[in-house]
């Protein structure tokens, strides 16, 4: 009756394995850098220096991380229900409307702390709605969410081009974007937060959305592991037959989970729109939805893993920009390759080293720790 | 000539705090069938997993044919001539028999040559051991008994001289089990060595030459089968005298609590599985449904408990109709006093990845006593789980251990504790003791009878005829979706057997 394959101690599962994956990813990336005739060591130091070496770098790293926390949480919530939401990109994109419209209506006469809650609600509702349709199609018609969410990314993209070009673009402007928001549509930056540890964020758009992302991570933890709804979601995710036996209404849970997932992805739109550019531009999501998949995989779908994973990817984005600036041989595309490698090793090949590590720990006397994990796995 | 096929010396294995195997010494003679018995969680599967290379022992040595052998993974075990038939088959469902047997032993990149060779070899094996299966049949279309044969063929094809079977009869019908034992005898007469784990002492007595008994991780005794008895083995296993016969007084049936009228149910593919079935279960009685697996019992249970929608018919629970053809859903039925111990505990009754306490509320997770508003009341849930663990002697007594790490019998107790402790009016139980040791069977049977004596209506479905006969107050026999007869539990085994095989007129025939 026993399931073969021993269990690993938690610190190996959640610490050592991701670390090994990461190191391998960087080694391979180093080879790529070497192949174009640059020094991998200099690239590495530029990366770290660029991401963490000075206040502005840190500000940018955390700004990107904010995006990835939201999209990573979105993917993770769906994972817990056994759903693979690849549509974070599109959900965040249309949710831009939920952010931009309240800003455009209210920014002239309301302060940011009035506009912000309206924008949060708008982002969550629009993003949630965009994910609800694939969820509903899955629940009622059996159309696989992987397929439908991808299709909804394309629909979102076309829709937003139309909206930006034909509806929201101010008359006479050449750029496909909304007008700039007045003060009410601009979130305060968190310069004071880094200033408290003696750093100056300079021009980095690190803003209040970051704190919202941390709150969202905590709320996700509570919902998944401490509420009845979360219990039902996890039951569905682990065993649909057990869920049916328990009387859990599957279609309801699928739709709710997708809405939560979409709402989280949608809130990502707050960060670039209200926190940085103070207007809605074409393609403001720029891949954050997809990075969220890697972040969720690497963070093992747990908020406590997602936050560090998001910061890691924030570092790659920011430090990567630095490298391509300093090392002309290494183009922006090379950075994408390096990020791709991290995704490959940390996400897709997540289990590559597991058998070897498991075997190694088995030879240590099979001392697989049974220390009960916290209910949160 | 060395006549010891396998010798284990000082095998030791810990899973964290659980000491699953303690300094195990054991010898298995070549060309014999060697039984291994022990309570749930005694460490039988762990020991065999070490022999087959799934786990590494913390200490100790394995000798195969007198040679010290390191078995670091299943490939090494296969190379040493050891094959294993798992309780949960490891077959590719949509491959044919031949493809499954070749899988991992293809020999070359080009399949054709290999296929012809494999086909010949398969034919030889089939003839030698009475292991007929159609090589071109697709696995998912075969009954479990045949799937198991494929597993055995797979091991033999890889040259196994020593075959490990972990609870092979748990899923088989009596006839399939008999056939399996004939195959094992045949293998033995060809000089193969067989290690057989089972909870059914009758099977041990019938087919083994020697039997080893494990208790709480230790090897406590080895006996020559001919010189021991079921009673002695049961006592060795549990460490106390075990009541093998259920002790129950006469039933005092009261009101009808569950009434099924003309119920018809189809399975997922639309095949009619339950055809116009009617019966009543009264307070204070146990009604047993006997039958060979796959004759509609599963679908009947699922329809009554609201998991599967019925096509037509009526079900009354405590006199009130259940909307079985429409909106009935399991949580509503739970509220109305129906508890259900499902046949398939691993997929339905439990979420194996949850910890014990999370499973102890499955289906009852909307009960306010486990909640603070919309939040789970973790303290209350753990406290409740701890009480049940104590009352049902679930081992190890840790509500935070992952359910997959409990042994089969203890998993079953988790489900039983959850369903029985709700004090339902009607208890519907499928295969209550599948894969459960004799000590636990005694316990479970006692609890079921206590439920009856407390005035509950119990509907029991089991493929174990012995269990049906010893627990039930009335026996209904199901065949091909119909109830083909009702008998008293003391009706002859032969008579019930005939009914189960679909000989409808057996009442007259038996006279
Ligand atoms: N992977 C694992 N991690 C932690 N504990 C385990 C693991 N596998 C087994 N155990 C524990 O080791 C003990 C022995 O389990 P094992 O499965 O060998 O028992 P068994 O004799 O086969 O029982 P059953 O008859 O119920 O199948 C049990 O207490 C079980 O909970
Ligand atoms: Mg076992």
Helix (H, G, I), strand (E, B), or coil: what is residue B480? coil
Which among B470, B475, B445, B447 has a CA at the least distance from the CA of B459? B475
Structure confidence at residue A362 (pLDDT): 64
> Do residue A244 and residue B330 have CB atoms under 8 angstroms apart?
yes
pLDDT digits (tens, 9 = 90+) for A121-138: 999 999 999 999 999 999
Q: Which atom of ligand 1 is nearest to the CA of B55?
A: 1
Contact A375, B378 (CB under 8 A): yes
pLDDT digits (tens, 9 = 90+) for A208-255: 999 999 999 999 999 999 999 999 999 999 999 999 999 999 999 999
Structure confidence at residue B189 (pLDDT): 92
**What does the angle CA B17 – CA B20 – CA B24 come to, to the nearest 5 degrees?**
130
Contact A322, A36 (CB under 8 A): no
Tokens 């096929």 sit at which residue? B5
pLDDT digits (tens, 9 = 90+) for A32-64: 888 888 888 988 898 899 999 999 999 999 999
Residue B347 has its nearest CB partner, among A241, A370, A373, at A241
**What confidence category does residue A367 fall into, taking pLDDT thresholds of 50, 70 and 90?**
very low
B221 has a chain A CB within 8 A of its CB: no
Q: Which of B376, B377, B436 is the best substitution to test chain A (most A C-beta atoms within 10 A)?
A: B376
Structure confidence at residue A2 (pLDDT): 35
For residue B444, report the distance from its CA to the centre of ligand 2, in Å.
Answer: 18
Alpha-carbon distance B76 to B470, whole Å?
A: 45
pTM for the predicted model, two decimal places: 0.85
Tokens 């251990």 sit at which residue? B401
pLDDT at A339 over 50: yes
Residues of chain A contacting B353 with CB distance shorter than 8 Å: 238, 377
**What does the angle CA A199 – CA A201 – CA A203 come to, to the nearest 5 degrees?**
160
Residue A245 has its nearest CB partner, among B87, B342, B353, at B342
Structure confidence at residue B419 (pLDDT): 95
Structure confidence at residue B110 (pLDDT): 64
pLDDT at A366 over 80: no
Which among A201, A375, A362, A218 has a CA at the least distance from the CA of A276? A201
Q: Which residues contact B184 (CB under 8 A, 6 or more apart)?
A: B33, B165, B194, B196, B207
Could you give the count of Cα atoms lying within 13 Å of A23 in the half-sphere of its Cβ?
6
Q: Which of A366, A367, A373 is the best substitution to test chain B (most B C-beta atoms within 10 A)?
A: A366
Q: Which of B54, B351, B378 is the best substitution to test chain A (most A C-beta atoms within 10 A)?
A: B351
CA of B362 vs chain A CAs: smallest distance (Å)? 6
Nearest chain A residue to B333 by CA distance is A247
Which listed ligand is nearest to B237 at the C-alpha?
A: 1
**What confidence category does residue A3 fall into, taking pLDDT thresholds of 50, 70 and 90?**
very low
Structure confidence at residue B359 (pLDDT): 97
Residue A228 has its nearest CB partner, among B16, B344, B371, at B371
Tokens 């091991």 sit at which residue? B155
Q: Which atom of ligand 1 is nearest to the CA of B41?
A: 19
The CB-based long-range contact list for B497-506 (8 Å cut-off, 24+ gap) reads B497/B465, B499/B290, B500/B290, B500/B291, B500/B292, B500/B465, B501/B292
Q: Which residues contact B507 (CB under 8 A, 6 or more apart)?
A: B485, B495
Burial of A234 (0-12, 13-18, 19+ CB in 10 A): buried
For residue B18, report the distance from its CA to the centre of ligand 2, in Å.
Answer: 15
The pLDDT of A364-376, averaged and rounded, is 40
Report the Cα–Cα distance between both ends of chain A, in Å, rounded: 22
Report the Cα–Cα distance between both ends of chain B, in Å, rounded: 57
Residue extent(s) of CATH 3.40.50.300 domains in chain B: 4-238, 256-500
> Do residue B16 and residue A227 have CB atoms under 8 angstroms apart?
no
Structure confidence at residue B108 (pLDDT): 64
Alpha-carbon distance A331 to B325, whole Å?
A: 65
> Do residue A363 and residue B56 have CB atoms under 8 angstroms apart?
yes
Structure confidence at residue B248 (pLDDT): 86
DSSP, residue by residue, B140-178? GGS-HHHHHHHHHHHHHHTT-SEEEEESTTTT--HHHHH
> Do residue B375 and residue A231 have CB atoms under 8 angstroms apart?
no
For residue B43, report the distance from its CA to the centre of ligand 1, in Å.
Answer: 6
A328-350 core/surface letters (b: 16 or more CB in 10 A; e: else): eebeeebbeebbebbbbbbbeeb
Question: How do strand B457-461 and strand B426-430 relate by DSSP bridges?
Answer: parallel
CATH class of domain segment(s) B256-500: alpha beta
Q: How many CB pairs under 8 A join A and B?
A: 133
Residue A246 has its nearest CB partner, among B330, B332, B376, at B330
The two structure tokens encoding residue A234: 């996890």
Structure confidence at residue A326 (pLDDT): 86
For residue A11, report the distance from its CA to the centre of ligand 2, in Å.
Answer: 28
Backbone angles phi, psi at A192, to 5 degrees: -65, -30
Give the full edge-to-edge strand order of the sheet including B272-282. B272-282, B256-266, B312-317, B320-322
B450 has a chain A CB within 8 A of its CB: no
Q: Which residues line ligand 1 (CB under 6 A)?
A: A 1-2, 6-7, 370; B 15, 18, 20, 38, 40-46, 396, 405-409, 437
CA of B40 vs chain A CAs: smallest distance (Å)? 10
Alpha-carbon distance A102 to A114, whole Å?
A: 10
Residues in chain B with pLDDT values less than 50:
1, 506, 508-511
pLDDT digits (tens, 9 = 90+) for A139-158: 999 999 999 999 999 999 99
Taking the alpha carbons of B73, B79, B85, B88 in that order, is the dihedral positive or negative? positive
The pLDDT of A89-117, averaged and rounded, is 96
CA of A319 vs chain B CAs: smallest distance (Å)? 39
pLDDT at A372 over 60: no
Alpha-carbon distance B76 to B144, whole Å?
A: 28
DSSP, residue by residue, B375-415? EE-HHHHHHHHHHHHHHTT-SS--TTSBGGGS-HHHHHHHH
Alpha-carbon distance B194 to B168, whole Å?
A: 12
Alpha-carbon distance B330 to B332, whole Å?
A: 5
Residues of chain B contacting A248 with CB distance shorter than 8 Å: 331
Alpha-carbon distance B474 to B297, whole Å?
A: 16
Q: Which residues contact B320 (CB under 8 A, 6 or more apart)?
A: B336
Alpha-carbon distance B115 to B132, whole Å?
A: 18
Contact A323, A335 (CB under 8 A): yes
> Do residue B72 and residue A359 have CB atoms under 8 angstroms apart?
yes
B132 has a chain A CB within 8 A of its CB: no
> Do residue B306 and residue A4 have CB atoms under 8 angstroms apart?
no
Instruction: Kindly report the average pLDDT of chain A as a whole number.
Output: 89
- Domains belonging to chain A, first-starting first, are 8-38+327-360 (no CATH), 61-326 (1.10.3470)
Residue A244 has its nearest CB partner, among B307, B333, B354, at B307
Residue B366 has its nearest CB partner, among A228, A362, A371, at A228
CA of B246 vs chain A CAs: smallest distance (Å)? 26
The CB-based long-range contact list for B176-179 (8 Å cut-off, 24+ gap) reads B176/B143, B176/B144, B176/B145, B176/B148, B177/B203, B179/B145
Residue to mutate, A2, A3, A370, A372, ligand 1, most ligand atoms under 8 Å from C-beta? A2
Taking the alpha carbons of A141, A146, A151, A157 in that order, is the dihedral positive or negative? positive
> Do residue B353 and residue A238 have CB atoms under 8 angstroms apart?
yes
CA of A366 vs chain B CAs: smallest distance (Å)? 6
Residues of chain A contacting B348 with CB distance shorter than 8 Å: 239, 241-242, 244-245
Q: Which residues contact B172 (CB under 8 A, 6 or more apart)?
A: B144, B145, B148, B180
Helix (H, G, I), strand (E, B), or coil: what is residue B82? strand
Burial of B219 (0-12, 13-18, 19+ CB in 10 A): buried
Is 3.40.50.300 the CATH classification of the domain at B4-238? yes
Nearest chain B residue to A232 by CA distance is B365
B380 has a chain A CB within 8 A of its CB: no
pLDDT digits (tens, 9 = 90+) for B61-120: 999 999 999 998 889 999 999 999 877 778 888 888 988 888 877 666 666 777 888 888
The two structure tokens encoding residue B166: 């972990």
Which among A196, A351, A276, A368 has a CA at the least distance from the CA of B54? A368
Q: Where are the alpha helices (DSSP H) in chain A?
A: 10-11, 17-35, 40-52, 55-80, 88-106, 112-136, 145-162, 191-195, 209-226, 228-238, 240-246, 250-267, 270, 288-298, 303-326, 332-342, 354-363
CA of A176 vs chain B CAs: smallest distance (Å)? 45
Burial of B76 (0-12, 13-18, 19+ CB in 10 A): middle
B121 CB neighbour count, 10 Å cutoff: 15
The two structure tokens encoding residue B347: 């997929």
Which is more confidently placed, B493 or A370?
B493
B76 has a chain A CB within 8 A of its CB: no
Residues of chain A contacting B344 with CB distance shorter than 8 Å: 241
Structure confidence at residue A347 (pLDDT): 67
Backbone angles phi, psi at B261, to 5 degrees: -125, 120
Structure confidence at residue A179 (pLDDT): 94
Q: Which atom of ligand 1 is nearest to the CA of B49?
A: 18
Distance of CA B131 to the CA centre of its chain: 23
Taking the alpha carbons of A110, A112, A114, A120 in that order, is the dihedral positive or negative? positive
DSSP, residue by residue, B195-263? EEE-S-HHHHHHH-SEEEEEETTEEEEEEEGGG--HHHHHHHHHSS----S---------SEEEEEEEE
Structure confidence at residue B392 (pLDDT): 92
């Amino acid at each position: 009756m026993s399931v073969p394959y021993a269990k690993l101690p938690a610190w190996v599962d959640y610490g050592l394995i991701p670390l090994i994956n990461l190191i391998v990813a960087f080694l391979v990336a180093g080879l790529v850098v070497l192949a174009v005739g640059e020094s991998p060591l200099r690239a590495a130091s530029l990366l770290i220096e660029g991401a963490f070496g000075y206040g502005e770098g840190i500000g940018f790293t955390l700004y990107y991380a904010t995006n990835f926390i939201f999209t990573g949480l979105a993917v993770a919530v769906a994972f817990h229900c056994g759903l693979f939401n690849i549509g974070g990109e599109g959900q965040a994109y249309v949710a831009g409307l939920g952010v931009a419209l309240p800003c455009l209506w209210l920014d002239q006469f309301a302060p940011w702390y009035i506009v912000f809650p309206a924008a949060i609600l708008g982002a969550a509702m629009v993003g949630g709605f965009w994910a609800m349709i694939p969820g509903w199609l899955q629940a009622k018609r059996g159309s696989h969410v992987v397929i439908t969410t991808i299709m909804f990314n394309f629909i979102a993209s076309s829709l937003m081009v139309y909206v930006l070009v034909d509806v929201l673009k101010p008359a006479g402007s050449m750029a496909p974007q909304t007008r700039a928001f007045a003060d009410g549509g601009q979130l305060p930056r968190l310069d004071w937060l880094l200033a408290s540890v003696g750093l100056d964020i300079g021009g980095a758009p690190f803003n209040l959305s970051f704190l919202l992302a941390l709150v969202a991570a905590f709320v996700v933890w509570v919902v998944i592991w401490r509420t009845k709804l979360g219990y039902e979601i996890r039951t569905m995710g682990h065993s649909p037959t057990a869920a049916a036996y328990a009387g859990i209404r599957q279609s309801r849970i699928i739709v709710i989970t997708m809405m939560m997932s979409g709402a989280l992805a949608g809130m990502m739109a707050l960060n670039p729109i209200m926190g940085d550019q103070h207007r809605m531009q074409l393609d403001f999501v720029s891949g954050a939805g997809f990075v969220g998949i890697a972040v969720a995989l690497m963070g093992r779908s747990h908020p406590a893993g997602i936050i560090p994973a998001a910061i890691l990817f924030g570092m790659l984005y920011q430090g990567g920009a630095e490298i391509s600036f300093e090392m002309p041989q290494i183009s922006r595309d090379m950075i994408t390759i390096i990020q791709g490698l991290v995704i490959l090793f940390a996400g897709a090949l997540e289990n590559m080293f597991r058998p070897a590590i498991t075997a190694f720990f088995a030879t240590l006397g099979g001392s697989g720790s049974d220390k009960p994990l916290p209910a949160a796995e | 000539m060395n006549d010891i096929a396998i010798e284990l010396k000082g095998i030791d294995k810990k899973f964290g705090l659980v000491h699953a195997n303690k300094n195990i010494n054991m010898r298995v003679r070549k060309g014999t069938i060697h039984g291994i018995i022990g309570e749930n969680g005694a460490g039988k599967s762990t020991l065999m997993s070490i022999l087959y290379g799934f786990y590494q022992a913390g200490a100790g040595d394995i000798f195969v044919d007198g040679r010290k052998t390191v078995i670091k993974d299943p490939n090494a075990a296969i190379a040493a001539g050891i094959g294993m038939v798992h309780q949960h088959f490891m077959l590719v469902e949509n491959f044919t028999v031949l493809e499954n047997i070749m899988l991992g032993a293809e020999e070359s990149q080009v399949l054709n040559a290999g296929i012809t060779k494999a086909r010949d070899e398969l034919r030889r094996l089939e003839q030698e051991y009475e292991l007929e299966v159609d090589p071109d049949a697709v696995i998912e279309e075969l009954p479990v008994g045949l799937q198991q044969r494929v597993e055995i063929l797979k091991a033999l094809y890889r040259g196994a001289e020593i075959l490990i079977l972990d609870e092979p009869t748990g899923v088989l019908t009596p006839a399939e089990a008999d056939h399996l034992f004939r195959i094992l005898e045949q293998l033995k007469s060809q000089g193969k060595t067989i290690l057989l784990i089972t909870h059914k002492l009758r099977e041990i007595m019938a087919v083994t030459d020697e039997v080893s008994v494990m208790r709480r991780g230790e090897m406590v005794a080895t006996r020559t089968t001919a010189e021991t008895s079921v009673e002695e083995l049961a006592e060795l296993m549990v460490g106390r005298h075990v009541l093998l016969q259920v002790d129950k007084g006469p039933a005092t049936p009261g009101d009808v609590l569950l009434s099924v009228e003309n119920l018809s149910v189809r399975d997922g593919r639309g095949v009619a599985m339950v055809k116009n079935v009617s019966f009543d279960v009264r307070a204070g009685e146990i009604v047993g449904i006997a039958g060979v697996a796959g004759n509609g019992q599963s679908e009947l249970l699922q329809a009554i408990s609201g998991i599967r929608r019925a096509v037509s018919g009526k079900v009354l629970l405590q006199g009130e109709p259940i909307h079985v053809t429409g909106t009935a859903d399991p949580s509503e039925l739970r509220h109305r006093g129906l508890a259900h111990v499902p046949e398939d505990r691993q997929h339905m009754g439990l979420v194996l990845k949850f910890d014990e306490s999370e499973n102890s509320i499955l289906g009852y997770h909307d009960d306010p006593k486990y909640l603070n508003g919309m939040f789970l009341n973790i303290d209350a849930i753990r406290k409740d789980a701890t009480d049940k663990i104590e009352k049902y002697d679930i081992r190890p007594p840790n509500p935070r251990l992952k359910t997959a790490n409990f042994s089969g019998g203890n998993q079953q107790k988790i489900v039983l504790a959850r369903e029985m402790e709700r004090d339902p009016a009607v208890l519907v139980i499928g295969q209550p003791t599948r894969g459960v040791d004799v000590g636990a069977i005694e316990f479970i049977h006692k609890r079921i009878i206590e439920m009856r004596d407390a005035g509950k209506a119990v509907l029991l479905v089991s493929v174990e005829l012995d269990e049906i006969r010893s627990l039930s107050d009335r026996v209904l026999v199901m065949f091909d979706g119909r109830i083909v007869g009702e008998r008293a539990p003391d009706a002859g085994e032969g008579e019930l057997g005939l009914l189960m095989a679909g000989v409808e007129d057996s009442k007259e025939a038996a006279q």
